[in-house]
């Protein structure tokens, strides 16, 4: 069991206003104490994602209705976490100090910090045996991918554009678990990765026009926000779904989504996943069974968080960019290699 002495403060990444990565700083902030029905997690690992960089810049502007119009209401970013429960609030059952857990904090963020409090019934689950903390922070990209791939039925055809990113690598695996036939569109350096993840067909967009494959799909998923419904129309069956993780050129995905919501099909969606707690529990099972794995580009130490954000903003990452808040060996964690 972990033993620690509570401190009055902890280290956390914070930003006081929207802007570039240089607006981020690691500061001493009050150590949170768990309230009724809450657990406190000593965070060991997190990730830096496109969501984090967009939140840092206050983009898109309408998202500030949730994050704060003039300055961030949630000044510590981060959605993925893995670590050790070190304190319980009143009334908590099912968890104990020393439990190794992972999960998501999609509503309040805050995982780029040494500690995090959240409800015990939130998106939190045990880390599967044999998995290190820095291997368990796979939830956000998989959750967004699940919001789209969960619509697939066995035998349907799915094309995933940008199948090498954090969402795309998860989408390939989850689509295959749904029994779909998957075509992955990636650059030349990611051809082998897409095949290893289970794609039935891999297309190199640098050498081939993926919109002229001569095949149609039940779902086309733009996992990186770099194509459009207009470009992908030749790929869509009459009942197809076009899903994208971005607003699209000129907010076209938003406008088309509203239009097709009135006129039926084909449909355009920006996935808004639900039931984070249920998904994290099911993801824990997939990880434990070896049916899902995170693909990691690189991991940054906590002190290099600004560099991590800069790298994610290049748009060149493969899979997940990890953030090591506290090295696992620092507390004798029992994760295996």
Question: How do the domains of the chain map onto residue ranges?
Answer: 9-138+294-331, 147-269
Q: Is the pTM of this model over 0.95?
A: no
On whether the CB atoms of residues 284 and 290 are closer than 8 A, the answer is no
Strands 80-88 and 38-48: antiparallel
Whether residue 107 has pLDDT greater than 60 = yes
Q: 197-256 pLDDT, tens per residue?
A: 999 999 999 999 999 999 999 999 999 988 999 999 999 999 999 999 886 677 667 766
Residue 93: per-residue pLDDT: 94
Whether residue 67 has pLDDT greater than 70 = no
Residue 305: per-residue pLDDT: 98
Residue 62: per-residue pLDDT: 57
On whether the CB atoms of residues 81 and 45 are closer than 8 A, the answer is yes
The percentage of the chain sitting over the pLDDT mark of 90, rounded to a whole number, equals 78
Tokens read off for 119 = 């409800």
Mean pLDDT, range 306-313, rounded to an integer: 98
Structural domain 9-138+294-331, CATH architecture: Alpha-Beta Complex (3.90)
Alpha carbon of residue 311 to chain centroid: 16
Whether residue 64 has pLDDT greater than 70 = no
Tokens read off for 142 = 């998989």
Mean pLDDT, range 130-153, rounded to an integer: 96
Burial of 93 (0-12, 13-18, 19+ CB in 10 A): exposed
In the CATH scheme, what is the code of domain 147-269? Answer: 3.40.50.720
Residue 192: per-residue pLDDT: 98
Backbone φ and ψ for 218, nearest 5 degrees, come out as -80, -25
Distance CA 62, CA 116 (A): 27
Q: What is the mean pLDDT of the chain?
A: 90
Q: What is the DSSP string of 238-264?
A: EEEEEEESS--GGGHHHHHHHHHHHH-
Residue 336: per-residue pLDDT: 35
Domains 9-138+294-331 and 147-269 fall in the same CATH topology = no
Cis peptide preceding 331, ω within 30 of 0 = no
Distance CA 100, CA 162 (A): 32
Minimal CA–CA distance to 145: which of 221, 207, 76? 221
């Amino acid at each position: 069991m972990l033993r620690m002495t509570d401190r009055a403060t902890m280290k956390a990444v914070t930003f006081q206003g929207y802007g570039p990565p240089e607006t981020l700083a690691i500061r001493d902030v009050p150590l949170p104490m768990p309230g009724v029905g809450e657990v406190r997690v000593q965070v060991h690992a997190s990730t830096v994602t496109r969501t984090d960089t967009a939140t840092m810049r206050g983009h898109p502007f309408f998202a500030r209705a949730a994050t704060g119009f003039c300055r961030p209401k949630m000044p510590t970013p981060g959605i993925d976490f893995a670590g050790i429960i070190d304190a319980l609030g009143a009334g908590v059952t099912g968890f104990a100090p020393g439990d190794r857990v992972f999960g998501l904090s999609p509503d309040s963020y805050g995982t780029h910090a040494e500690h995090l409090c959240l409800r015990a019934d939130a998106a939190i689950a045990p880390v599967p045996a044999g998995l290190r903390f820095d291997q368990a922070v796979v939830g956000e990209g998989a959750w967004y991918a699940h919001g789209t791939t969960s619509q697939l039925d066995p035998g349907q055809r799915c094309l995933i554009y940008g199948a090498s990113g954090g969402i795309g690598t998860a989408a390939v695996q989850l689509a295959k678990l749904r029994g779909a036939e998957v075509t992955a569109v990636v650059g030349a350096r990611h051809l082998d990765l897409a095949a290893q993840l289970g794609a039935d067909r891999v297309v190199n967009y640098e050498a081939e026009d993926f919109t002229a494959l001569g095949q149609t799909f039940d779902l086309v998923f733009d996992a990186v926000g770099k194509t459009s419904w207009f470009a992908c129309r030749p790929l869509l069956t009459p009942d197809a779904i076009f899903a994208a993780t971005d607003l699209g050129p000129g907010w076209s995905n938003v406008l088309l989504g509203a239009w097709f919501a009135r006129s039926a099909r084909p449909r355009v969606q920006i996935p808004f996943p639900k039931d984070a707690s249920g998904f994290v529990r099911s993801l824990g099972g997939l990880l434990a069974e070896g049916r899902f794995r995170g693909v990691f580009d690189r991991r940054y130490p906590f002190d290099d968080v600004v560099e991590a954000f800069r790298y994610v903003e290049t748009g060149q990452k493969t899979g997940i960019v990890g953030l090591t808040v506290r090295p696992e060996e620092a507390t004798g964690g029992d994760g295996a290699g």
